[in-house]
Chain A
Amino acid sequence: MAALVLGLPEARRNEAAAVFRARGVPHRRVEEWKYSDLKSALGDAGVGAAVAQGLVGNLPSGVEMFDLAQDNPPDWVRENFAAATSNAMSSASLALSKGGVAFRVPKGAQITDLLKVDFTGPGHVRGLLVLEDGASLTLVEGVGIADFRNVGFEIVLGEGASLDHVRLSPDGGEAVLVEEAAVHVAARATYRAHFAGFGSKLSRMELEIALEGEGAQAHLSGVAVLDGKRHSDVTTHVIHRLGNTTSTQLFKHVAGGGGRAVYQGKVTVAKGANGSDSNQSAKALLLGDGAEADLKPELEIFADDVKCAHGAAVGDLDAESLFYLRARGIPETEARGLLLHAFLEDAVAEISNIDQRELVRTELLTVLRAMA
């Protein structure tokens, strides 16, 4: 089966390779990569051609899985996998990866067990998740540490489907980790995502979400806590293609030492997508002169009668709050930790799954205590 790799016809693969060749490895002079210079982070090693893996930690019953390295993909993979993209790194993973994982939740299936998937090893890998009409699922994505990994993820939500996507990235040290997720949300379907991360040499989660049917919703939230020289970049593009669609975004970052937090969020309301509602908020706390936050919310509106709000703020811990806590006997370090935790709390509270929410809270407390 030389003609099919990754279930992809040779032509599609060549097409992706051509896009990646034309665009090259993104660097800081490419506008969307201004704050995340991938080329210089990778250095001479480049993107390589290694093949990373998607490991399934828990496959709930009712969820169908397909190994993308296998021949003869089923129809649901053929129909949804490898949609055309102009994204450089997503094209790179299509061109270079030789495997990955695909999942399908059949029509109407309400899956209560968590689907756990960990992406591990260096190189390129693909993921596909299809929720058919009315299906619901919670996906917990783990991020393993590797010198370099590039994940290309496609998520397709049918009408009325509901996905909770929780992504947890531990402190990745010197790792360079990028991921591009393309999410299609049909009418009345809901995509909720929460990204909690501690950064690495370069970490980037890029999301492109298309709200493609009336009543489609996307709710994104995330926290990043960055110490040392850690970097974390969340770049989102939400496209309201049709009217009466809703999107919210709430991102909170804490950067200490030489940490760098990046949020770029673009919301596009397409022509005719009247009655769309979008709200974006990104805030960062900087603990020291070496830390940096680059917050860039952006709106592009081509429709009428829309409600769009966005805001961004960078600050330091509130001196008055700190004094209040200390004056009541709470030692300075503990008071700072408490305030940092409080700063992140409304974003953490967005995680619907209670166990995952508690897990994130615990991890944050440990790291914040050390940073405070």
Chain B
Amino acid sequence: MLEIKNLHVAVGGKEILKGLSLSIGAGEVHAIMGPNGSGKSTLSYVLAGRAGYDITQGSILYNGEDLAALAPEARAAKGVFLAMQYPVEIPGVTTMTFLKTALNSQRRARGESDIDAVGVLKLVRAKAKTLNVSEEMLKRALNVGFSGGEKKRLEILQMAIFEPKLAILDETDSGLDIDALKLVAEGVNALRDPSRAMLVITHYQRLLDYIVPDRIHVLAKGRIVAEGGKELALELEAKGYEHIVKEPA
């Protein structure tokens, strides 16, 4: 589904990703682990299409299509979803209005018909319940005054509503206590599906206790330096990044 080859990305003229290659198939959950500054967030932003992240070499194919050629909204319509590390607060737009606008924008881009306000409300309510997102949160301005946990839950709620084909979770565990983490992980696990690929980006092994990946890639200094099964996370936890990063890749 996702085929990244020799990807080089520069931000403000500085090269952050230096030849990253990665391949994820449908139904798989991959994790990217790495220390701060290794390029984890750069990878997530470049996949979602944020401006200012320039691909200087290499390619990203998504279902055989050149992902870099698509605007962020076109990627979303085609099923790419990035759960952000720091979801933005947007005063003046209620969460419900945002969800409805986003859902119908994606549908329209795919040539599907709009879902009316009542239909969206029903859909959102049903999914919100399992993620413990209250009616009151949906009425508030998007992410405004939400706690860290509420913001992350809303990200996962969006994932549940939009039903993406490729979900990228950027440090979804950051700032969460253990209960919030479990809730979010349950939400994510419920969305595991043979037709869906997931890329879980995290600094800590902790999240991977709850979202168990099929494969782990260790990112350091803009490159994948180690790969392995879920047991690699435990090794990292025990020995630290230093140990792995220093070994020849």
Contact = CB atoms under 8 A, between A and B. Distances in A.
Interface of A: 318-321, 323-332, 334-335, 338-339, 341-346
Interface in B87-110: 87-88, 90-93, 98, 101-103, 105-106, 109
Contact of B73 (A318, A330, A341): A330
Given A332-B73, A341-B92, A342-B91, A327 B82 contact: yes
A328 B102 contact: yes
B72 interface: yes
A84 B90 CA distance: 47
Nearest to A328: B102
B130 to A, nearest CB: 20
Contact of A332 (B71, B77, B82, B162): B71
Given A326-B72, A331-B73, A332-B71, A321 B82 contact: no
* A319, A326, A329, A335: residue with the most chain B Cβ atoms closer than 10 Å: A329
B187 interface: no
17 contacts: A321-B88, A324-B84, A325-B102, A327-B49, A327-B75, A327-B76, A328-B105, A328-B106, A329-B73, A329-B103, A331-B109, A332-B71, A334-B105, A339-B90, A342-B91, A344-B92, A345-B91
Given A332-B71, A342-B90, 16 more contacts: A324-B84, A325-B102, A326-B71, A327-B49, A327-B50, A327-B75, A328-B162, A329-B76, A329-B77, A329-B102, A329-B109, A330-B105, A332-B73, A335-B73, A339-B90, A342-B92
B93 A342 contact: yes
Nearest to B103: A329
Contacts of B101: 330, 334, 338
Contact of A328 (B51, B141, B158): B158
Contacts of B48: 323, 327
Contacts of A321: 88, 90
A343 B73 contact: no
A7 B84 CA distance: 68
A346 B102 contact: no
Interface residues of B, number: 28
Contacts of B98: 325, 328, 338
A332 B141 CA distance: 20
A343 B72 CA distance: 23
Contacts of A323: 48, 50-51, 72
Most buried by A among B91, B92, B93, B162: B92
Contacts of B90: 321, 324-325, 339, 342
A319 B53 CA distance: 14
Given A323-B51, A324-B84, A324-B88, A330 B93 contact: no
A343 B106 contact: no
Nearest to A331: B73
Contacts of B93: 338-339, 341-342
A326 B73 contact: yes
Contacts of A318: 88
Residue among A321, A328, A331, A332 facing the most chain B CB atoms (10 A cut-off)? A328
Contacts of A328: 76, 98, 102, 105-106, 158, 162
B196 to A, nearest CB: 17
A363 to B, nearest CB: 17
A341 B51 CA distance: 23
A335 B106 CA distance: 13
Contacts of B72: 323, 326-327
A49 B50 CA distance: 58
Contact of A329 (B51, B84, B162): B162
A349 to B, nearest CB: 9
A71 B71 CA distance: 69
A174 B77 CA distance: 43
Contacts of B158: 328
Contact of B87 (A319, A324, A326, A335): A324
A321 B103 CA distance: 17
Contacts of A338: 93, 98, 101
Contact of A331 (B50, B91, B105, B162): B105
Interface in B43-102: 48-51, 71-73, 75-77, 82, 84, 87-88, 90-93, 98, 101-102
A343 B92 contact: yes
Interface string B98-138: 10011101100100000000000000000000000000000
Nearest to A318: B88
A168 B17 CA distance: 53
A331 B77 CA distance: 10
A256 to B, nearest CB: 18
A320 B71 CA distance: 15
A334 B91 CA distance: 16
Given A329-B102, A330-B105, A320 B88 contact: yes
List of 3 A-B pairs having minimum Cβ-Cβ separation, nearest first: A342-B92, A329-B76, A345-B92
